[in-house]
Amino acid sequence: MSLLLALLACWFAGTPGWAARVEHVEVKRDRIVVRFDEIVADASAFVLAGPNRIALDVGGARPGGRTETGGAVSAVHQASRGAQGMRLMFDLSRPTVVTQGRFGDGGRELTLELRSVDDDRFAQAAAVRQRTSFLPSLGLGGKGVRKARYEVSMPIPRASRKLALPRVYGDDDSRPLVVIDAGHGGVDPGAISPTDNRREKDVTLRIAKSIRDELLRSGRVRVALTREDDRFLVLRERYGIARKLKASLFISIHCDSVGSGTATGASVYTLSEVASDKESARLAARENKADIISGVDLGGTTTDISSILIDLTQRETMNSSASFARLLGREARPLMPLKPNFHRMASLMVLKAPDMPSILFETGYISNPQDVAFIDSSEGRGRIAESVRRAVDIHFARRLAAN
Ligand code: ZN
């Protein structure tokens, strides 16, 4: 996410120094509309607690115009920020966050959609202080004429929505169900390849579909995907879908990333309260952040990883997860590059289902050009899928034998 914002910010590096003036600020029930007399450069919003406020920074703009209050907004303040533009501050009479923003009227009008939240949620959004950014897009319509061609906004999906259950592939209900979870999606691109901007969310979806096809060919299991297109799911929804479908195994597909491009190989993670090493702790922190988009915790619970407590009933599930992880390592080793210490442990939110063996498969490094070329090729996907299929076959054959 931060990478995406950075890219958008780069886009505006070297923005010419123009200054639009605020014409009018209007607050309707669940919406703030700010009108400028000219196109502005960009805008970003964040919330502040104690007292509760929404701050809106606008580049290429200066204070002016009249303001009106209404809804949750009890007062509006405007201040210049010099070369950086201006800040509008909205005092709130009840905790409210910005869920969406869009520019209209050729970049001269910004509309923010508001939503009331409970105190906890507001406090969390304020604590992380991440910004939601909005850009009017510039198309040079002629000599020095700035004309907006289209608008870019970053909508934040609703946190509480009804779980739509995905399609289950395979007709024989007596077969165990394996749920494959393509990591990230929608507003959350996951890690991005520094060399060719390939996004983790796209790579994981292609891999998940290959695994589905390979498992279906074997005919021994039924398969469902948590997502089959580019959509955002919070971490709890991912295993929530699998639990609702009464899945017997949950496999979350990801790509690893580090700053330098030399780290290589696949690894598998299972749940534990304590990370097996520093690298695993860092990975868990990164993957658990998927719920926090633009400073709003969409998971509805704290994503503080130290709070992922494991209860005793989970021990058996954890053992089963660990044995599947070892099996996957054994089957994958001849087929694809693995890290020497393949099986690791970390407190990963997506593996938190208490009653369903779950693993997170980091198929390779998206930050490493060779790794990503492999895992995002049809040959690489085929090898990953074959590794999973072999491990799945043995896993369920063993369980059958044990019963
Ligand atoms: Zn990931």
Measure 17 CA to ligand 1 centroid, in angstroms.
39
Measure 266 CA to ligand 1 centroid, in angstroms.
13
Is residue 266 located within the same domain as residue 381?
yes
Computed from CA positions of residues 70, 72, 76, 80, in that sequence, does the dihedral angle turn out positive or negative? negative
For 100-119, the pLDDT digits (tens) are 778 887 778 899 988 888 88
Residues 86, 77: contact at Cβ < 8 Å?
no
Classify residue 43 as exposed, middle or buried by CB count within 10 Å of its CB (0-12, 13-18, 19+).
Answer: buried
DSSP string, 372-402: HHHHTSHHHHHHHHHHHHHHHHHHHHHHHHH
Q: Last residue of a domain, which of 82, 117, 152?
A: 152
Q: Is the pLDDT of residue 346 over 60?
A: yes
Look at the block and give the residue holding tokens 């869920």.
99
Is pTM beyond 0.85? Reply is no
Please report whether residue 163 resides in a domain. Answer: no
Is residue 34 located within the same domain as residue 145?
yes
d(CA 305, CA 113): 30
Measure 216 CA to ligand 1 centroid, in angstroms.
25
Is residue 146 located within the same domain as residue 186?
no
Measure 364 CA to ligand 1 centroid, in angstroms.
11
Please report whether residue 372 resides in a domain. Answer: yes
The pLDDT of 266-275, averaged and rounded, is 90
Measure 200 CA to ligand 1 centroid, in angstroms.
7
d(CA 102, CA 324): 46
Based on the structure, what is the number of domains in the chain?
2
Is residue 84 located within the same domain as residue 209?
no
Residues by chain with Cβ below 5 Å of ion ligand 1: 183, 190, 254, 287
Residues 190, 235: contact at Cβ < 8 Å?
no
Question: Containing H/E element for 320?
Answer: helix 314-332
Residue 58, domain extent = 15-152
Measure 303 CA to ligand 1 centroid, in angstroms.
15
Please report whether residue 20 resides in a domain. Answer: yes
Measure 189 CA to ligand 1 centroid, in angstroms.
9
Is residue 178 located within the same domain as residue 256?
yes
Measure 26 CA to ligand 1 centroid, in angstroms.
40
Q: For 55-131, where are the alpha helices, taking DSSP H only?
A: 119-128
Q: Which residues pair with 213 in a beta bridge?
A: none
Helices and strands, number each (H, E), in the chain = 8, 21
Q: Write the single-letter amino acid at 220.
A: R
Please report whether residue 396 resides in a domain. Answer: yes
CATH code for the domain of 120: 2.60.40
Measure 362 CA to ligand 1 centroid, in angstroms.
8
Is residue 137 located within the same domain as residue 244?
no
Out of 20-29, 59-68, 336-345, give the one with best mean pLDDT: 336-345
Is residue 242 located within the same domain as residue 116?
no
d(CA 363, CA 203): 10
Is residue 313 located within the same domain as residue 186?
yes
CATH code for the domain of 211: 3.40.630.40
The pair phi, psi for residue 130, each rounded to 5°, is -85, 150
Is residue 185 located within the same domain as residue 92?
no
Residue 324 or 60, more confident? 324
Is residue 344 located within the same domain as residue 271?
yes
Q: Is the pLDDT of residue 136 over 70?
A: no
Measure 357 CA to ligand 1 centroid, in angstroms.
19
Residues 276, 346: contact at Cβ < 8 Å?
yes
Please report whether residue 139 resides in a domain. Answer: yes
Is residue 254 located within the same domain as residue 131?
no
Please report whether residue 159 resides in a domain. Answer: no
Assign 139 a pLDDT band (cuts: 50, 70, 90): very low
Q: For 47-135, where are the alpha helices, taking DSSP H only?
A: 119-128
Please report whether residue 7 resides in a domain. Answer: no
Measure 91 CA to ligand 1 centroid, in angstroms.
37
For 372-398, the pLDDT digits (tens) are 999 999 999 999 999 999 999 999 999
Looking at residue 106, what is its pLDDT?
75
DSSP string, 113-139: EEEE--HHHHHHHHHH-PPEEEEEEEE
Q: Is the pLDDT of residue 215 over 50?
A: yes
Q: Last residue of a domain, which of 123, 152, 181?
A: 152
For 185-195, the pLDDT digits (tens) are 998 899 999 88
Q: For 97-199, where are the alpha helices, taking DSSP H only?
A: 119-128
Is residue 318 located within the same domain as residue 248?
yes
Measure 205 CA to ligand 1 centroid, in angstroms.
11
Residues 232, 175: contact at Cβ < 8 Å?
no
Measure 190 CA to ligand 1 centroid, in angstroms.
5
Q: Last residue of a domain, which of 109, 127, 152?
A: 152
Measure 287 CA to ligand 1 centroid, in angstroms.
5
Classify residue 310 as exposed, middle or buried by CB count within 10 Å of its CB (0-12, 13-18, 19+).
Answer: middle
Please report whether residue 263 resides in a domain. Answer: yes
Mean pLDDT of all residues in the chain?
A: 83
